[in-house]
Amino acid sequence: MAEIGDAGFESFLETEKGFEAYVESENYDKEQLQVIKNKYKQQTSIVFFQDRIQKQNWNEQWEKSYEPIIVEDKCLIRADFHKIDRKYRYELIITPKMSFGTGHHQTTYLMIKNQMEIDHSGKRVMDAGCGTAILAVMASKLGAAEVEAFDIDEWSVSNGKENIEVNGCTNINHQQGKLSDLGFVGKFDVILANINKNVLLEEIKLYKEYLSPNGLLLLSGFYVEDIDDLLNEGVRHRLSEVNRDDRDNWAALLLRSAD
């Protein structure tokens, strides 16, 4: 989304299959889109479907099509313009810009679902690659004492801070950077990482270093068929499986530090 944003697109909406992006026709750069597609073709298949539509109020249309999400009938995830009468145990106000993480994608849903089964009370929590900061906000709502959230992208940091503020979460420290560069002091009781398989495989050893004894590591951003690869890497670093979950072939894996 960030790179396509640099190509002139302005409005984004996550869908089950990817995302929709809108651009004024005079700013449309087909060649730049092809460069982006070629950049990632060795990692995954990317397909662009293009259509020309009438000029209209895109903010209004986006608000009409952006639906709230309810996770396991316990957690409502809505934008600030949604008006919902029913009360839920947890309510998160998340209005994305170009940041990932609204609950619409299966991996975010899985993370929120499994977070609600983890005791966060009085715990120190890390949200690695936080995107909209939805998991950090959820951790705060679940009673975490302290949350460290970070992302490498400037637009995620900006959007995340807005979502943290609108949810009234004063115990979240939010910053830009990579885990390997930030150098946190002390251990974490819970680490949350919804990124992608390759990054998770690379960073599992860092997560383990930051986990307290018996600390929990909740991962998503990969497919069911990738679970064994991540589990094997976790075992190499003395992490054992607690639980696994899936939704539409996307997976989540909960690991515990052995020491």
Average pLDDT, the chain: 88
d(CA 154, CA 245): 31
d(CA 56, CA 61): 8
Helix, strand or coil for residue 109? helix
DSSP bridge pairs for 69? 77
pLDDT of residue 76: 95
User: Which are the contacts of 125, defined by CB distance < 8 A and separation ≥ 6?
Assistant: 136, 139, 144, 146, 147, 148, 188, 189, 190, 191, 192
pLDDT of residue 88: 96
Q: What percent of the chain has pLDDT over 70?
A: 90
Helix, strand or coil for residue 258? coil
Tokens representing residue 74 in the block: 């316990």
pLDDT of residue 30: 80
> Is the pLDDT at 133 greater than 60, yes or no?
yes
> Is the pLDDT at 97 greater than 90, yes or no?
no
**111 vs 5, higher pLDDT:** 111
State mean pLDDT over 121-137. 96
State mean pLDDT over 83-90. 92
Q: Which fold has domain 104-257?
A: Rossmann fold (3.40.50)
Q: pLDDT grade, residue 159 (50/70/90)?
A: confident
pLDDT of residue 62: 54
Which DSSP category does 62 fall into?
Answer: H
pLDDT of residue 228: 97
> Is the pLDDT at 2 greater than 80, yes or no?
no
**50 vs 230, higher pLDDT:** 230
pLDDT of residue 49: 77
> Is the pLDDT at 103 greater than 70, yes or no?
no
> Is the pLDDT at 169 greater than 90, yes or no?
yes
State mean pLDDT over 84-100. 82
State mean pLDDT over 78-98. 86
Helix, strand or coil for residue 220? strand
Residue ranges per domain, the chain?
A: 2-64, 104-257
**Model pLDDT for residues 212-259, shown as the tens digit of each residue:** 999 999 999 999 999 999 999 999 999 999 999 999 999 999 999 987
pLDDT of residue 243: 97
Residue 165 burial (CB count, 10 A): 14
> Is the pLDDT at 196 greater than 70, yes or no?
yes
d(CA 58, CA 149): 31
What pTM was estimated for this model as a whole?
Answer: 0.77
| DSSP-derived pairing of the beta strands 188-194 and 124-128 | parallel
Which alpha helices (DSSP H) does the chain contain, by range?
2-6, 30-40, 58-65, 106-115, 134-141, 154-166, 179-182, 197-210, 227-236
